[in-house]
Structure 1
Amino acid sequence: MTDTAGLSVLYHTVTLACQTLVYGMYAIIMPICSYVMLRRGLRRKSHIFLFGMLVFMFSLSTVYWIISLYNDVNLITVQFVHEVPLDDTGTTHALKQGMPLMSALVLLNYVLTDGVVVWRAWVLCQDGYSKSLIIPLMFLCLTLLSILATIGLRVAITVLNDTQHTVIVDKGGLVLDYLQVANLVMSLLTNICSTSIVGIKAWHHRHWVTSELQLKRKNITTAERILALLVESGIIYCLSGAMVLIATVIRLPFGTLGDVYTPVNVQFAGIYPAIVILLVTYRGELNETVLFTSRGQNNAPADVSNLDTIEFGGNPHVNSSFRETETAADVTHNGTMISHRSQA
């Protein structure tokens, strides 16, 4: 066994171990998330679509992990047990063709998760930030186009590689490298813009609650907690996207650090929407907490809007500290009623 082959096995094993750690969390969280959604009922088309999307992303991540596991086991078997060159086995050749293609397909997790992030920002901020939301929507479209181009080019390279079009394959591989970086950049910008808009919305809402309703700062409503949770989780996801982008330029003796971290990040992209749904469900029900309207409020922020489009069911088993009754306040301001409903 050559040093290069041994190093290849080592890197694939380390990558698989890191990916397995995140996928294991995914395999635990996804059934819980599915149970929560099904228990609440899929009453709207948006709920059905979201549930179907989560199942598709989990299935895609599962297939990707299984192929990665099989690839690593095959490399170890060939190198350490049979001690034959990698190119001498038909299975290894098939994996060399199929693994890059699957790595391209699993990038769909990025665009689907980004779509959830943009949709969430649109529902919360469409009244006051409709023009600003065009920016993350534009980056989302660019992310989709770059990922579709990546998948299409990878399919073309896989087909042409079998026909010995080496020149076309080499040039296609170079273009593929640029496309993969573009995927990461567009996805990161989509999340930064969307999270920033939701963060500004949360800050304006908190300022409005303390100034207009004159509530003490310690009295934080469920809506504020959920907005803060969405912003915090969005920041963490943005940091993960920035890390994988930086990792692509850090050279290792065999490839780059991005080759190790990318499989982990695509699994994290799949798990992110499920985590947010569970956390928000645990913290309370958003649409039954506060109704906002900007009409007739001269001093209220213009972006305050009805939030009843998003529904997150409350968890009846949470500790009572998370189920405290919200401050009941019915405030009439220039003929507009703002109702803070009691949370059971």
Structure 2
Amino acid sequence: MASNSSGLLSEADALLLKSYASLTIQEVLGILFEGVFFGAYSIFFALAVYSIRKGGVRSRKAIIMSAVVGYLYAASVTAWAVDCYIAFKNIHSLFMTTEIPLLDRADLADDTFNKFVGVQEMLFVFNAIVADAVVIWRTWAVYQGWIPAIVAPCVLLLAAFVFALIDVTFSLYQGSTPLPGAATIYVKSQILVWGFSLGTNILCTLLIGFKAWQHRKIMKELSLGVKYHGISTENVLSLLVESGFIYSFLWGTQIMGYLIFGPNSPWNFISEVVVRIGRQITGMYPTLIIVIVNFKRTMWEQYPITTRGHGLNSLNWAVNTGRSGGTRTDTRPEVGIHLDTVSEATRADSGIHRRDKQLAYEEFSSQDRVVVL
């Protein structure tokens, strides 16, 4: 480490130490914010595990959900642990390796990063793929297994998966001979994975939003006058749409990780935080979807209370054993899972009016049901 005759650092060494300190602050901020999101994710994970156990753990659906939730959480734990290790290792390399010249310490820190870049990239892109698959599954369930509704999202997911394989291959390759066009293909494949994933989430959110709008419109036209204890199908759809747009926005900000800013730009700090948060939200969002759906089916069973007729009469729901999580009423045909329905109290309505409502209800039940599995 060079110094002048007064014992102070040279201007070059001082600037170098300043750049090291700036990089360290970025990394520390990144792992702190990532830790906050990881803590929130841990809460969602615990709720997801509880809701799966509450609904029974022996069914095929429960086993698949458990595997997905467990994988995503394990990947997020690994990602945060690796980020913490790299940050502390870099602090040691940059400021505590006094036997190494100051200029060479950056190379030592880069070596640590390069050892884990492949693992981090693999966790990041495959978490995104699994998260998108959960979103598509949710869209497919809302549309009652109508395949055309998920054709476009599935095409986007397939494209993201192909470029994810390319991305991971280039990031994990450690051969002595560089792969042809590695630098260009590696960066472009990363951006394409992110772009196709973002498109998948936006499209699925719009599809669910359309179904929510359609459901609300029909319920208003029927003017059922029904209130609920708990959470209704309309509210579940609203939660799915709102959380989908929030996730799409947060996922969209990941573009900052592919942009290059000046060495002294404050955007470097923001970019570091955004990228670290992205490693947690890829697992947090699908886990949140599973929590919403499972709590809808278990803890927040809805019991409609009518506002028509004389007094308030509750309508009990019976479990439909022919469909997982389904419910039906004793006096009405099955209309999916927790679907808003006509109360028995509508019998107090006049004959013609009541028959019109019943015909409208039956048409709605057979043609435009909304299912939340």
> Cα gap change, 1:335/1:195 in structure 2, threshold over 3 Å: closer, same or farther?
closer
Q: 1:328 aligns with which of 308, 324, 343?
A: 343
Query: 1:34 is paired with a residue of what secondary structure?
Result: helix
What is residue 22 of structure 1 aligned with on the other side? Answer: 37
> Cα gap change, 1:246/1:12 in structure 2, threshold over 3 Å: closer, same or farther?
closer
What is residue 269 of structure 1 aligned with on the other side? Answer: 282
CA contact under 8 A between 1:248 and 1:259: conserved in structure 2?
no
Structure 1: give runs of 5+ residues left out of the alignment: 291-305, 314-324
Say whether residues 1:95 and 2:112 are aligned partners: yes
TM-score normalised per structure 2: 0.70
- Please show how residues 273-288 of structure 1 align to structure 2 within 5 Å: 273-282=286-295
Q: CA deviation at 1:207?
A: 1.2
Identity fraction in percent: 21
What is residue 6 of structure 1 aligned with on the other side? Answer: 21
Q: 2:170 aligns with which of 145, 153, 158?
A: 153
Structure 2: give runs of 5+ residues left out of the alignment: 1-12, 304-319, 328-339, 347-356
Say whether residues 1:191 and 2:206 are aligned partners: no
Say whether residues 1:215 and 2:232 are aligned partners: no
Query: 2:57 is paired with a residue of what secondary structure?
Result: coil
What is residue 125 of structure 1 aligned with on the other side? Answer: 143
CA contact under 8 A between 1:222 and 1:326: conserved in structure 2?
no
Say whether residues 1:46 and 2:65 are aligned partners: no
| Structure having the higher Rg | 2
For residues 93 and 246 of structure 1, the distance between their equivalents in structure 2, rounded to whole angstroms, comes to 21
- Please show how residues 120-269 of structure 1 align to structure 2 within 5 Å: 120-126=138-144, 130-156=147-173, 159-160=174-175, 163=176, 165=177, 168=178, 171-211=181-221, 213-216=222-225, 222-246=232-256, 248-249=258-259, 251-253=261-263, 258-269=271-282
For residues 238 and 226 of structure 1, the distance between their equivalents in structure 2, rounded to whole angstroms, comes to 18
Q: CA deviation at 1:263?
A: 2.3
- 1:141 partner amino acid: L
Count the aligned residue pairs.
305
For residues 26 and 252 of structure 1, the distance between their equivalents in structure 2, rounded to whole angstroms, comes to 33
Query: 1:175 is paired with a residue of what secondary structure?
Result: helix
Query: 1:333 is paired with a residue of what secondary structure?
Result: helix
| RMSD of aligned residue pairs (Cα, Å) | 3.8
Say whether residues 1:76 and 2:85 are aligned partners: no
CA contact under 8 A between 1:226 and 1:286: conserved in structure 2?
no
For residues 278 and 312 of structure 1, the distance between their equivalents in structure 2, rounded to whole angstroms, comes to 17
Q: 1:106 aligns with which of 104, 123, 129?
A: 123
Q: CA deviation at 1:32?
A: 2.9
> Cα gap change, 1:64/1:246 in structure 2, threshold over 3 Å: closer, same or farther?
closer
Q: CA deviation at 1:16?
A: 1.5
- 2:132 partner amino acid: D
TM-score normalised per structure 1: 0.75
